[in-house]
Copies of this chain bind each other. A is one copy, B any other.
């Protein structure tokens, strides 16, 4: 073939091999086999759904978190408060994924009885893609919500100092013949990872993504990242952009909402007090919810309406020059299906890094998939 979609610096690995490798790595770092399996499943789900920013590229941070003691590999999450429809968990500095998946499982069980339930997980660590947890509700015919606060990277409307994280919101609702609706979005215009991509490519940023230390929209990714890292000023703009003209105060408000539900409700770190350092992530907190569709209406009717809504959206008339209208989650489901056939693509740099990390921790074997 003269043409290939896969860039030359990409390596393909079967999803099961990736998961097995990461599970063994996490066990070697001190996680229980059960916790390691969950942490690996979440991490690999990111690459397998085409969200490499949250996948194996983050292995060094996870490993450094554990080896520096910032992340406690064998922490036992503790339920610190509980009612029929709420759950408050202290992760005691453990990995984000196992504590989060367990919290979601517990509120799904509560929602089966109470109709709805919410959870807060405090003093946790990076939990990967928020959508993973929201989607755990789907097979129970429930609607799922997941949020997390993150290290401060976003500036308030009219501000120039980072005061909150990229604070994602994920929402999943089941459908019938259509795939589920799965929204998973940061509440800033873009996340830091996008700036890092532009920095590597040596390209200027689009206007309206980030501000420099003056607090005005700027386009030099290197300078913005450097100043933001040193907390000299500048950061990511909230969804809606600079100022109020296009609703920047809405993204700012949503980011603070997430910080309230995670950090403040969790009696944990929030706002600019939540920071990453060069070797590991800061302690973050999460918020989850599960709503049982059957508490409101017949599930079959709900799914039939979801099918109609989603197919109508996908089939609605295109803007001039546009190729396709997507619904939330659709791109990820399509990539997941493609990668299940062809193997999950990793940047060669990410692949080589994983091999090296495995070697350092006595974990071998990350075979490349047969050529697609």
Q: Is A349 an interface residue (CB 8 A)?
A: no
CB closest chain-B residue, reference A173: B260
Question: Are B259 and A309 neighbours in the complex by a CB distance under 8 Å?
Answer: yes
Q: Is A139 an interface residue (CB 8 A)?
A: no
Question: Are B265 and A297 neighbours in the complex by a CB distance under 8 Å?
Answer: yes
Contacts of A291 in B (CB 8 A): 86, 118, 261, 265
Question: Are A295 and B81 neighbours in the complex by a CB distance under 8 Å?
Answer: yes
Contacts of A251 in B (CB 8 A): 239
Question: Are A320 and B214 neighbours in the complex by a CB distance under 8 Å?
Answer: yes
Q: Of A84, A247, A263, which is in contact with the most chain B CB atoms at under 10 Å from its CB? A: A247
Question: Are A159 and B325 neighbours in the complex by a CB distance under 8 Å?
Answer: yes
CB distance from A103 to the nearest CB of B (A): 13
Q: Given contacts A215-B319, A247-B189, A325-B159, is CB(A265)–CB(B84) below 8 Å?
A: no
Q: Is A318 an interface residue (CB 8 A)?
A: yes
Question: Are A316 and B156 neighbours in the complex by a CB distance under 8 Å?
Answer: yes
Choice from B116, B266, B301 contacting A116 with Cβ under 8 Å: B116
Q: Is A113 an interface residue (CB 8 A)?
A: yes
A215 to B316, CA, bound (A): 11
Give 1 or 0 for each of A121-159: 1 = CB within 8 Å of chain B CB.
Answer: 000000000000000000000010000000000011111
Choice from B84, B215, B239, B270 contacting A240 with Cβ under 8 Å: B239
Give me the interface of A with B, judged by CB distance under 8 Å. Answer: 81, 83-86, 88, 111, 113-118, 120, 143, 155-161, 163, 169, 171, 173, 181, 183, 185-187, 189-190, 206, 208-209, 211, 214-216, 233, 239-241, 245-247, 249-254, 256-257, 259-261, 263-267, 270-272, 291-293, 295-297, 301-302, 305-306, 308-309, 312-313, 316-328
* Additional A-B contacts beyond A85-B85, A215-B322, A256-B327 (5; CB < 8 A): A158-B325, A190-B247, A215-B318, A241-B241, A267-B301
